[in-house]
Amino acid sequence: MSSQRLGVLAIYLSKSRLEELSYFQRLSKEGKKMGVQVEVFSPTDVEADNSVRSLTYDASLGKWIRRRTSMPPVIYDRCRYKAAANYQMLKAFRNRHAKLIFLSRPLANKWSMHQILSENEGIRPFLPVTVRFSSVQELLKFIKKHTLVYVKPKNGTGGRGILRIEQLGPDLFLLQGRNQQRTIIAPFRASEKQLSIKLHTLKLSPDYVVQQGIQLTLKDGRVHDYRLLIQKNGRGEWEVTGCAGRIGPHRSITSNLHGGGSAVSQDKLLAYRFASPEKTETIKKEMNNFAYKLADFLETKFGKLCELGMDIAVDPKGNVWLLEVNPKPSREVFRKIGEIATYQKAVSRPLEYAVWMLRQNTRKAELPSSDDSNETD
């Protein structure tokens, strides 16, 4: 059987080093078992005649080999839009190659996403109150109303540039956060006037969103949340692959693994916070039900998607909140907690979905084009 081909779109971190190569290596090994050849490339590797200088992993040599090939028919986009130039480059690629099968579509920034999700009555109760930054004065009013807030760049990833501000007393506030390099900012206790001066120096703009904070602090002072991964399976249906807890390092306001956070099993973290097994089971069911609801709704807005990583908070009462949704999620959290079968599934599912998409496309092409054909999407 000739190999089916899956193109993986990636971004260069430097002139020769691609992002996520270790994940693509695992993807290639899994693909080989399934008869799928994984070919990794960036839009900059596409030649004028649409041939591609792609990388394939040779397991026998233990290294990546670059070859010139034709464009793969299915594309798995793993590019993180860290810079506006990357976004434009990928947008141009998608427009130029619109006839290819893309496993997913780009989503909106944090602010646009909040507005879109707020339209849905079933999703709205899970969203923290979120507004666009307008002025320091309005931000201070928002802090007094909610006592705990997060200020985030609308296009930020991995915890970069996030601030946490909490009102501790009538005229006492605590500012914590991370700069754009993910470095932890020293905690700053201040009066309202001192906080106002500090916030002015940070040069915030409408490119930031201000979000109601959810109390996520554990007994030892560290923050935590959950990463839930929902993916399309080999039948083209959504399925929750797994969910894991994440605990931030000391003095950090985020739990991202890239920022030094540690991973823990969902059951262990829920049991640590809630004594009743019935309560933890109810929370887990609510997380899963919400994940299906969110995935289905996002597809009605953006088109076909392959996988979603949801950052979920559970407050001290057991209420579930959506902090963020990521269309290009990492799956390392499952490997780190020793859930190897879940990790394996997380790697193989995009391949299974790609094969399913190819099969659907082949069937569509074979269907008669007359008006009485039973063509379905």
Please give the Cα distance from 55 to 67 (Å, whole number): 6
Residue 94 shares a structural domain with residue 25: yes
Task: Inform me whether the pLDDT recorded for 1 exceeds 50.
Answer: no
Residue 377 lies in a domain: no
Classify the phi-psi angles of 303: left when phi > 0, otherwise alpha if psi is within -120 to 50, otherwise beta: left
Residue 64 shares a structural domain with residue 149: no
Residue 151 shares a structural domain with residue 82: no
Please give the Cα distance from 94 to 285 (Å, whole number): 37
Residue 167 lies in a domain: yes
pLDDT at site 150: 94
- Output DSSP code: residue 117: H
pLDDT at site 363: 76
Residue 305 shares a structural domain with residue 274: yes
pLDDT at site 124: 97
Residue 175 shares a structural domain with residue 248: no
Phi, psi of 322 (to 5 degrees): -90, 120
Residue 225 shares a structural domain with residue 349: yes
pLDDT at site 157: 65
Letter for the amino acid at 1? M
Residues 6+ apart with CB under 8 A from 313: 214, 216, 225, 226, 320, 321, 322, 323
Residue 171 shares a structural domain with residue 258: no
Residue 115 shares a structural domain with residue 245: yes
The mean per-residue pLDDT over the stretch 40-67 comes to: 94
Examine the fold and report which residue of 190, 212, 234 is the final residue of a domain before the chain moves on.
Answer: 212
pLDDT at site 371: 47
Number of domains in the chain: 3
- Output DSSP code: residue 17: P
Please give the Cα distance from 214 to 216 (Å, whole number): 6
- Size of the chain, expressed as the number of residues it contains: 377
**Alpha carbon distance, N-terminus to C-terminus of the chain:** 27
pLDDT band at 372 (very low <50, low <70, confident <90, very high): very low
Letter for the amino acid at 164? R
pLDDT at site 109: 86
Question: What is the tens place of the pLDDT at every residue in 66-112?
Answer: 999 999 999 999 988 666 778 888 899 999 999 999 999 989 888 99
CA atoms within 13 A on the CB side of 163: 21
Residue 373 lies in a domain: no
Task: Inform me whether the pLDDT recorded for 149 exceeds 60.
Answer: yes
Classify the phi-psi angles of 315: left when phi > 0, otherwise alpha if psi is within -120 to 50, otherwise beta: beta
Residue 62 lies in a domain: yes
Residue 9 lies in a domain: yes
Classify the phi-psi angles of 276: left when phi > 0, otherwise alpha if psi is within -120 to 50, otherwise beta: beta
Residue 59 lies in a domain: yes
Examine the fold and report which residue of 157, 179, 212 is the final residue of a domain before the chain moves on.
Answer: 212
pLDDT band at 146 (very low <50, low <70, confident <90, very high): very high
pLDDT at site 15: 74
Residue 266 lies in a domain: yes
Q: Find the CATH number of the domain harbouring 286.
A: 3.30.470.20
Residue 134 shares a structural domain with residue 76: no
Residues 6+ apart with CB under 8 A from 364: 375
Residues 6+ apart with CB under 8 A from 122: 293, 297
**Residue 36 is encoded by which pair of tokens?**
């799928």
The mean per-residue pLDDT over the stretch 31-44 comes to: 95
Task: Inform me whether the pLDDT recorded for 19 exceeds 90.
Answer: no
Q: Lowest-confidence range among 55-59, 182-186, 209-213, 281-285?
A: 182-186
Please give the Cα distance from 220 to 8 (Å, whole number): 41
The mean per-residue pLDDT over the stretch 346-352 comes to: 98
Residue 239 shares a structural domain with residue 352: yes
Provide the mean pLDDT of the chain. 91
pLDDT at site 27: 97
Residue 306 lies in a domain: yes
Quote the domain boundaries for residue 270: 110-123+219-363
What's the pTM value of the predicted model, to 2 decimals? 0.90
pLDDT at site 86: 81
Instruction: Please answer whether residues 265 and 188 qualify as being in contact, where contact means their C-beta atoms are separated by less than 8 angstroms.
Output: no
- pLDDT above 70 covers a percentage of the chain that reads 94
Q: Find the CATH number of the domain harbouring 67.
A: 3.40.50.20
Residue 175 shares a structural domain with residue 140: yes
Please give the Cα distance from 193 to 23 (Å, whole number): 48
Three-state secondary structure call for residue 348: helix
Task: Inform me whether the pLDDT recorded for 377 exceeds 50.
Answer: no
Please give the Cα distance from 55 to 84 (Å, whole number): 25
- Report in angstroms the alpha-carbon separations of 350 from 69, 73, 255, 312, 364: 22, 15, 26, 22, 21
Examine the fold and report which residue of 212, 233, 253 is the final residue of a domain before the chain moves on.
Answer: 212
pLDDT at site 280: 97
Residue 291 shares a structural domain with residue 176: no
Question: What is the tens place of the pLDDT at every residue in 223-282?
Answer: 999 999 999 999 999 999 999 999 998 878 878 787 788 999 999 999 999 999 999 999
pLDDT at site 370: 45
* Long-range contacts of the stretch 120-127 (C-beta < 8 A, 24+): 120/297, 122/293, 122/297, 123/290, 123/293, 123/294, 123/297, 123/322, 126/290, 126/320, 126/321, 126/322, 127/321, 127/322
Please give the Cα distance from 176 to 253 (Å, whole number): 7
Cα maximum dimension of the chain: 73
Q: What per-residue string of b and e applies to 275-295 under the rule 16 or more CB within 10 Å gives b?
A: eeeeebeebbebbeebbeebb
Instruction: Give the containing element (helix H, strand E) for 325.
Output: strand 320-326
**Residue 113 is encoded by which pair of tokens?**
């996403």
